[in-house]
Amino acid sequence: MPISSQDPTTGLSQAEAAQRLQADGPNVMPGEQPRRLAAIVQETLKEPMFMLLLAAAVLYGVLGEWQEGGILMGLVVVVLGLTLYQEGKTERAMQALRQLSSPRALVLRDGQPQRIAGQDVVVGDILVVAEGDRIAADAVLLDGSELMADESLLTGESTPVDKLAVPAGSDMPTALPPQAGGNQTPFLYCGTLVVKGHGTARVLATGERTAMGRIGSALQSLQAEASPLRAQTARLVRTLAVVALAASVCLVLAYGLMRGDWMGAVLAGIALAMALLPQEFTVVLTVLPALGAWRLSKLQVLTRRIAAIETLGATSVLCVDKTGTLTENRMTVAQLYAYGGTQADATLAVDYSAQSELPEAFHTVAEFAILASVQDPYDPMELAFHRLGAHFLQGTEHLHRDWTLVREYGLTPQLRAMSHVWTITQDHTRIVAAKGAPEAVVDLCHLPEAERLRIASAVDAMAGQGLRVLGVAQGQFEGTDWPAQEHDFTFHFVGLLGLQDPLRPGIPDAVAQCHTAGIRVVMITGDYPATAHAIARTAGLAQGDAAGVLSGDEIATLDDAALRSRMREVAVCARVAPAQKLRIVQALQADGQVVAMTGDGVNDAPALKAAHVGIAMGGRGTDVARESAALVLLDDNFASIVGAIRLGRRIFDNVRKSMSYILAVHVPIAGMALLPVLLGWPTVLFPLHIAFLELVIDPACSMVFENEPAETDGMRHPPRDVQAPLLGQRTLGLALLQGAGALAVVMAAQWWAMGQWGEDGGRAFAFITLVLGNLGLIFCNRSHLPLWRSVATPNRTLWVVCSVALLLTLAAVYLPWLQGLFAFAPMPGDGLALAVGLGLLCVLWFEALKAWQRRPLAA
């Protein structure tokens, strides 16, 4: 079927859309592709550790030790396989996040509006676009109201352009013009932004066939961007690399001059460099945050910027919207107020189950509220008015059957009200319906002060019940030139509507968890202050009085210093304009707070961008808000934000535990590669031994610690200082002391064992002790709690890694062909038992240090 002949009110069927998606392919730009296996292998082989392993294998071959060289090459392949597994898992997680972060589109399918991924849009789809939407594909505008688009991404012109729908009765374009962009045209282009108005459009081109695709731009890609933590760690790795190089050169010279074995000196130097290089740091900072982002997506939180995970757990103030985040965004008109003028006012609690029609006094309130609403609504509040009409006024069709909408006045920051002008077909009378914030509608009606106070009292009574209150007015227009503003109409106040939006289940508990974790929750809403305070009180945000409520009008009167001071005690910000959110964020940041901010609209973008962690609403949020945010809340639920903060703390804790383990374990390895040589003892660790140890260290630092559950008290302590280094002095000192203790035990083990079982026996005994000390470090660094309390915490990966390490160690000691490769002698049973005892001694040392570290915290 030609696309121009399709019914724009129904759109494509699901079957037609599936066929076109199969034929044309997904609607994606020629942008960043996932890394291929060959690219990952190439990057991995460039790592210094692999280059050292390969150099050692070649040297063994030069020396004629083909068996040792072959085994070392085999270990290279095994370590490479582990690395590829970790990188592949990370890449799959990142690719899944890229797909989630692609633009969304609202389309008509089978006559029903559906929100789909932008990549699923096909030619012929009917797009429903509104202010703040990113256009998902090239399209032609079928109808629209004052629609303007920002095409700067495509044309470079910063001024938004008007878009006009194709005139009724004219031929529908089936192809795009050669020149993209332009003012007063019906064409919308992929990647451009709707900055005003709304409309529907038919898709003409997708993917590489769009104007943006022809240019070859890559939109919407998610990359693991450099973060402060990665930069800090990169500096540490570079420093240690220089130290490793210098120490290795010195060791080669000392070994060669002392023993005259220059080939052995080179092998010893390579072993020391491998022992000193903490290349696992970069693995940890790639794998743990990326897989953490994947875990966040399971909590309905999409990570658009990986670096935000570092800050998420340090959040000290959480600023949230009320509607749809704390509440269900499922509005119902619960109360009506009919203004009596010179007569008595009337109030009605709406009961949908017991009532079938409204008393006559309330008909006008309901009818004019519907006339001032969108005809085909998607917004929950607009839908609530239409449900009211459908239930009590026998539907809303009779209001529109003989009426024609001729003029619309939208909400503006200056006037929180909207008006619709209707013409009655029979007598051409023009009727004006307005609804909006009660104070704005009262202002339109130019009421005397006594009447304003009378209505304000009714608003306060309704708002005190937690209802969102809107005012309604009616008027007539008899002129010929449309007024520039709504104040030029003559309005009469009709009444009020109170909308109920229930709290989401579990909100009070989630707020209590935030307070326990030292996180302040500030509710920011455009609602009336009394409504906002009632909701906040129910949610557990505010106490009985309204002292903690700050209004937008008050914010406008405060300078930056006064606002900063006021925000220290505020739990609710009401009647806040979107532009004021930025000032709130900046005031909190200036006071030293780490701010997470939620938002959903175009005007929220500056505040989302300025916040330490911007959180866009995925369900109802605009594309521009999503693009400005670091995280996207896919279910718009406050409880998901709290879960994300808990997981953010877990991710950061696990990164710190892993880094501390890496630092600690490299101390005995580097010491055993260096000290025996300097003391004239036989060499203990050759490159083969260190490659073997890497089989334990690599999966331990990434997979074991990534799977470690959150600490039981993770949400019972204040947020960490975001400026503090990952490895502070206490953590760094603890890791070095752990490593030094293990080194002392292993050195003593080798010294004693050489006298008992000779060089090879001493090497085997020291190596077993070192492996057991390594495993002890893993267990003791899992948690800051004592080992006897944390050992039962489930972590299947931990037991797999430890079991494999022990089996491989026993095989190296007791299998004859491996004994020769590792230069080991078989260990008698009592020697093995003694090595286990020394491993337990290391554990006792580690636990004593943890107890010493905990003591000041408990004092």
Residues with catalytic roles: 321
- For residue 452, give every residue at least 6 positions away whose Cβ sits within 8 Å of its Cβ, in sequence order, or none: 442
Closest CA relative to residue 176, chosen from 149, 141, 138, 150: 138
C-alpha angle 235-237-243 in degrees, rounded to nearest 5: 105
Closest CA relative to residue 694, chosen from 44, 58, 90, 217: 44
Give the number of other CB atoms < 10 A from CB of residue 476. Answer: 13
Tokens (6 digits) for 272: 């020391």
Query: Per residue in 124-138, is it b (16+ CB within 10 Å) or e — as a string?
Result: bbbbbbbbbbbbbbb
Q: Which residue has the tokens 């008015």?
A: 385
CA 675/CA 747 separation, integer angstroms: 9
CA 635/CA 642 separation, integer angstroms: 13
Q: Which residue has the tokens 């090879």?
A: 760
Residue type, 791: V
CA 521/CA 515 separation, integer angstroms: 8
Q: Which residue has the tokens 């095409």?
A: 151
**Angle at which helices 48-62 and 66-100 cross, to 10°:** 160
Give the number of other CB atoms < 10 A from CB of residue 67. Answer: 12
Closest CA relative to residue 225, chosen from 170, 161, 301, 305: 305
8 Å CB contact between 727 and 656:
yes
Secondary structure (3-state) at 566: helix
Extended beta strands in 481-574, E state: 490-500, 520-524, 549-551, 572-574
Tokens (6 digits) for 146: 């004052």
Query: Per residue in 479-516, is it b (16+ CB within 10 Å) or e — as a string?
Result: eeeeeeebeebebebbbbbbbbbebbeebeebbebbee
Secondary structure (3-state) at 303: strand
Q: Identify the DSSP state of 209.
A: G
For the chain, give the longest Cα–Cα distance: 115
Alpha helices of 315-417 — where are they, by DSSP H? 363-371, 380-392, 397-401
Closest CA relative to residue 192, chosen from 214, 160, 218: 160
Instruction: Tally the C-alpha atoms within 13 A of residue 778's C-alpha that lie toward its C-beta.
Output: 27
Extended beta strands in 620-778, E state: 631-633
Extended beta strands in 154-192, E state: 161-162, 187-188
CA 218/CA 537 separation, integer angstroms: 46
Q: Identify the DSSP state of 503.
A: B
Give the number of other CB atoms < 10 A from CB of residue 796. Answer: 9
CA 645/CA 308 separation, integer angstroms: 11
Q: Give residue 15's Cα distance to chain centre.
A: 34
8 Å CB contact between 704 and 801:
yes
**Angle at which helices 729-781 and 829-858 cross, to 10°:** 130
What is the DSSP pairing of strand 468-476 with strand 490-500? antiparallel
8 Å CB contact between 523 and 540:
no
| HEC readout, 592-637 | CCCEEEEECCHHHHHHHHHCCEEEEECCCCCHHHHHHCCEEECCCC
